[in-house]
Amino acid sequence: MRYPRLFALAAAMVLGAAPAVHADDGNDRWILNKIANMSLEEKVGQLFAADVYGESGDTTNPADVAANQAMYGPDVKNGDDLIAKYKLGAILYFRWSNNLNDPVKTAGLSNDLQRAALAQPAKIPLLIATDQEHGAVYRLDEPFTAFPGQMALGATRSAGHALAAGKVTGRELAALGINQDYAPVADVNINPGNPVIGVRSFGENTELVSDLTRASVRGLQQGGVSAAVKHFPGHGDTINDSHNSVPWIFHTKEQWEQVDAPPFRAGIAAGADMIMTAHVVMPYLQSDCDVVTQQGCDPATLDPEIMTGLLRDELGYDGVVVTDSLSMQGVRDKYGDDRIPVLALKAGVDMLMMVDDTASTISLDVAYNAVLNAVRSGELTEERIDESVHRILRLKKQRGFFDGDQQVDEGKVLDRLGSPAHKALARVVADHSVTLVRNNAGVLPLTNTGQRVLVTGYRNVTPPSVKIPPTDRLAKAIGDLGVTTELFETGTAPNGATVNAAAAKANASDLVVVTTVNSTSSASQRNLVNALLATGKPVIIVATRNPYDIAGFPNAPTYLATYSWEKPAMEATARVLFGRTDPKGKLPVTIPAADGSVLYPYGHGLRY
């Protein structure tokens, strides 16, 4: 048998014995009995994770009802209806679906949905998940405690910080009834042009990423939520975004073992409850894939050699495997929507993520019925479905979901978010992450708080679900130090008139601080910075996402990398600028020059 682990549970159930891979025989017998009393429809429902609009489980808000009916049909007005129809295993929360507008209402929504799940005949509580990576990808804003993000943690070099940040995040998510975080990102970002990972990674060094992945998993799960390590088998060396196309990664098996696999091994060793797949093609890991003709080249999510051969058999992982969103183009180029969920299950995954996060969304009804029909036709055995249901129920059992009603105290939510101790930890992490990359003119640290400081640069006002105002946050932080500041935000792509206005304001100021966000791919941002440099005034560039921006400004004398536009990062940056704290961060990546040579090496970081 090619993949013995794939069928271990099914064989054990046929023989009437608990599978040997599970240590707790009592729990295992309980789970097997539970499965034996479930209908096929209930089992298949457990395999799906989907999103739903609304602030409550029984919402009647017209916009939310219309959005739900557009996705799920006229009989699904709200979350209660969705659970009743499909008997889902998991619900995902997003700001755009109005689940996270208010922490107390979010807790109420969690309570509503858990009650709806327990009202079904099988009485199986829900996994309730969100993406709280911090930094570039976050779903919960204030009063939730914000951390600068994973690459900022990489700049601190501290597994202790990663553990503590994970624990705080877990505790605050759990207060809202969210019991799973789709984090951490275990991808090793060795490609500076990566458009989708970047600062979501801890860095380019495999050992560092492994150490912080291990610590983050432990922290989140000690904090009370399940961690989902992503994106297997690795998404760190790509120039394509799998939301929009199919990335190809040409790592040999040896390179994968050395670069990509260790962080996942670390997450598994730390006891990660879940691993999320990547919609990437790795042709040299796939024996059926012809690189020249591209025949037989499926994304990893749909490939048994990767999902079962590598993840299950080679890495020995027997936890829950969830797909990344099946609406992403990276998994939809080759097959119809009715084939994708079936092929994913045949490859070895357990849960199928259905999210309306793209312009073209795969239908839950199509996917759900495709799986049912595959079982009825014999393409998938019911034993194969049972294997995944077993893993999902085992996770829920081990997390104590069946020991209580999973209700959270809505009256205590605000007391458990953003406590002084949690915010103090975020401040410490931020203070240790800000990296002074270049200080050629010796401008820093600034000592004259009587200067007139222009703070200008990036602001994104869309989508409304994400706040990206680094300039505003930095200007306020500098002003809080008693410095006279003028704020002039230039948007994401300043035109000529905006650039000229910024330069005029710079001429009337003593000092300029300009924020950038991935300006290596933004000519308009580079035009802004170059115009400010041309004024002859001291200009400090603060890169608030990927740290590679300095490559576009060879003549800029002063440059800091913060890896994050979150408030703690901007406040820490202000303190570093004015010498209230010393810069402590070390680059967790190499910064290449425009010609491909090394501009600044991994580990670089100046001090005062």
Nearest-angstrom CA–CA distance, 45 and 207: 39
Please report the DSSP string for 164-223 in residue order.
HHHHHHHHHHHHTT--EE---B------TT-SSSGGGSS-S-HHHHHHHHHHHHHHHHHT
The residue annotated as part of the active site, out of 80, 131, 324, 431, is 324
DSSP category for residue 582: -
Q: Which three-class secondary structure state does DSSP give residue 603?
A: coil
> Could you check whether the bond before residue 251 is cis, i.e. omega within 30 degrees of 0?
no
From residue 152, how far is each of 127, 229, 558, 565, 605 by CA, in Å? 29, 18, 19, 11, 13
From residue 273, how far is each of 221, 317, 500, 586, 603 by CA, in Å? 8, 10, 53, 31, 32
- The number of beta carbons lying within 10 Å of the beta carbon of residue 498 is 19
241 among known catalytic residues: no
φ, ψ for residue 529, nearest 5 deg: -65, -45
Q: Of 280, 203, 210, 286, whose CA–CA distance to 243 is shortest?
A: 280
The residue annotated as part of the active site, out of 243, 338, 510, 582, is 243
Q: Which helix (H) or strand (E) holds 542?
A: strand 539-543
CA 560 to mean position of chain CA atoms: 24
As a 3-state breakdown, the chain gives helix, strand, coil percent values, each rounded to 5, of: 45, 15, 45
Site of tokens 């976050």: 138
324 among known catalytic residues: yes
Mind telling me the catalytic residues?
243, 324
